[in-house]
Amino acid sequence: MTNLHNRFGRYRRPLFAFALFAAAAATFAAPTAAQAHKELGRMWTFEHAPLGWFQEAYDWQPSQEWLDHARMSSLRLGNGDRYFCSASFVSPYGLIMTNHHCSRDFIAQVQGDHDWQTNGFYAGAYDNEIPIPGAKVSQLITQRDVTDAVHDQGEAAVLAAAREAQPELEHQIIGLYQGGNYQLYSHRIFNDLRLVCAPHGQSAHFGGDPDNFCFPRWGLDFSFLRAYENGQPADTSKYCFQWKTAGAEEDEPVFVTGNPGRTGRLKTVAQCEYLRDHYYPPILERVHTMLDQLGERAAQSEAEHKKLLPRILSLENTRKAFQGYLDGLRDERVMEIKQKAEDDLRAAVAADDELQEKYGATWDEIAAIQERKAAAAASGDGETVNALEEQEKALNTRIGEACFAVYGNDIPPDATMSLRISDGVVKGYEYNGTIAPTHTTLYGLFARHFEFGGVHPFDLPQVWLDKEKELDLRTPFNFVSTNDIIGGNSGSPMIDKEQNVVGLIFDGNIEMLANNYVFDDQVSRTVSVHPAIIIESLRKIYGAGKLADELERKNQER
């Protein structure tokens, strides 16, 4: 059961062949070069993609045409006035791929008297695809640096001018580097979305809360929607990813194009210590209490359980995610990396008289505010703490400005629920005294069911048991890679150098959660659904051969 996006309080982490351009190398190698300031991660913006790093690490770099196609094939998924997940176009006919857990609320919204959350859904034809009121995806059309304009005129004026010039687009000002740089992102909106296919809820979230943020894993966490325009499937033939059922090989470079929600890699050591000692412990207590209360209500009847299940699953994810963030901040190694990064930045600032005069005292000022926040929180003075946090925002901007002044675009900014490209390789890792493989298979899914006696949350829907002999049990299921993700990347496509879909991001391992504050790929991994199991399940479990054909570009007639 995975839900990389969550909806608790203000921390929304609404926890991816177009053969072109650069010829792919015949062999694949993991990055051997040392990335500068690796602790700040690999969530690169498209306007400043690290071409030099790609060349150094993978002996390859994308053309501008490659970047433009990847950007416009990638989507941000939302509902109403908020976005919480990632997605992508995966056929010429408006077909959208995302996670089941990203569509879970949509399914609950439109299922009526059916129980599609439990039993799954497949439309089978355009006429049967179910409209989802309020659902939308955004496609990033243009980006423009507006730092000077924001400083001179303010965000509201810059947005107003953009809306007047291009009223057909949705405009957003993104503050990067905690306000050290501002970009105007302009999006095309598709707001007629329809449900095409979703697996059984238990197949999507097999293993439930125990397996959440873990690997090895067997989560069939996919769903398909379709964008319509003027009552017809949208023509997305110009910008959509191809499909590669075979997936990627071990050590092959892969790229995630998605919308990471929020990271805190520019937070100071003092801010991290405050989160560790004063923020996460009480909030986790509240989450546990809420889960206990919801569990009691859900046990009262099947109808109540059906109603509350999405909220329970979301809060279970929140609990485990926040615990992972807390554990990361309690890890001495993580905090040592954080301290060194801060020392390096402060030393660079101190070496420049102008920067030192403008920013040098900022870290100490932030540390003093953390002490005052802790005292206010302990005394129950909510007015929390709120006034001090307002002061802190301005200081955060100064930290971002200092970082941008020293490093510029050579480092990626913190996540902002805006489109990024993250590089990595398919790679296993050491854990629990043994080795995690790069991928799991259908063999393991059935083994896990029987090893736990078919008891929830390790129970397979009956149709899987009935179809066991028809399935190819060697089919890859989930796999891991070193890409840099966080909540909001749920539903992101993973692509290879030819822009084939080779995976669907839906989770990370438990070690990945510490990357919220310091990126490290020694053992942290993304977890993705392999394209082979999506095709195998569509054809043999869900009777969705027509959809599988659309993905694999077979019998392509509109």
pLDDT at 411 (0 to 100):
93
Classify residue 247 as left (phi > 0), alpha (psi -120 to 50) or beta: left
Phi, psi of 362 (to 5 degrees): -60, -40
For residue 154, give both structure tokens.
Answer: 């303010």
pLDDT at 98 (0 to 100):
99
pTM equals 0.90
Q: Is the peptide bond before 216 cis (omega within 30 degrees of 0)?
A: yes
| Identity of the amino acid at 448 | R
pLDDT at 16 (0 to 100):
31
Q: How confident is the model at residue 34 (pLDDT cuts 50, 70, 90)?
A: low
User: pLDDT at residue 5 above 50?
Assistant: no
More confident residue, 314 or 427: 427
* Mean pLDDT, rounded, for 99-124: 96
In the beta sheet, which residues pair with residue 173?
184
* Mean pLDDT, rounded, for 407-415: 94
| Identity of the amino acid at 178 | Q
Phi, psi of 309 (to 5 degrees): -55, -45
* Mean pLDDT, rounded, for 427-444: 96
More confident residue, 96 or 11: 96
pLDDT at 35 (0 to 100):
83
pLDDT at 386 (0 to 100):
86
Q: Which helix (H) or strand (E) holds 243?
A: strand 242-243
Q: d(Cα 281, Cα 207) in Å, to the nearest integer?
A: 26
For residue 49, give both structure tokens.
Answer: 């993609």
DSSP state letter for 275: I
Q: Where in 63-106 does DSSP place strands (E)?
A: 74-79, 82-89, 95-98
Query: Over the stretch 249-307, which tens digit does the pLDDT of each residue have?
Result: 999 999 999 999 999 999 999 999 999 999 999 999 999 999 999 999 999 999 998 88
User: pLDDT at residue 385 above 70?
Assistant: yes
Percent of residues, the chain, with pLDDT higher than 90: 87
pLDDT at 29 (0 to 100):
38
Contact (Cβ atoms closer than 8 angstroms) between residue 234 and residue 190: yes
pLDDT at 382 (0 to 100):
78
Query: Over the stretch 331-350, which tens digit does the pLDDT of each residue have?
Result: 999 999 999 999 999 999 99
Mean pLDDT, the chain, whole residue set = 92
User: pLDDT at residue 181 above 90?
Assistant: yes
DSSP letter for each residue of 195-235: EEEE--HHHHTTTHHHHTT-SS------EEEEEEETTEE--
Q: How confident is the model at residue 168 (pLDDT cuts 50, 70, 90)?
A: very high
Q: How confident is the model at residue 33 (pLDDT cuts 50, 70, 90)?
A: low
User: pLDDT at residue 549 above 70?
Assistant: yes
Closest CA to 515 of 58, 86, 176, 42: 42
Q: d(Cα 211, Cα 449) in Å, to the nearest integer?
A: 13
pLDDT at 306 (0 to 100):
85
Closest CA to 477 of 524, 555, 545, 541: 541
Q: Where in 356-499 does DSSP place strands (E)?
A: 420-425, 429-431, 434-436, 439-441, 476-481, 493-495
Query: Over the stretch 205-237, which tens digit does the pLDDT of each residue have?
Result: 999 999 999 999 999 999 999 999 999 999 999
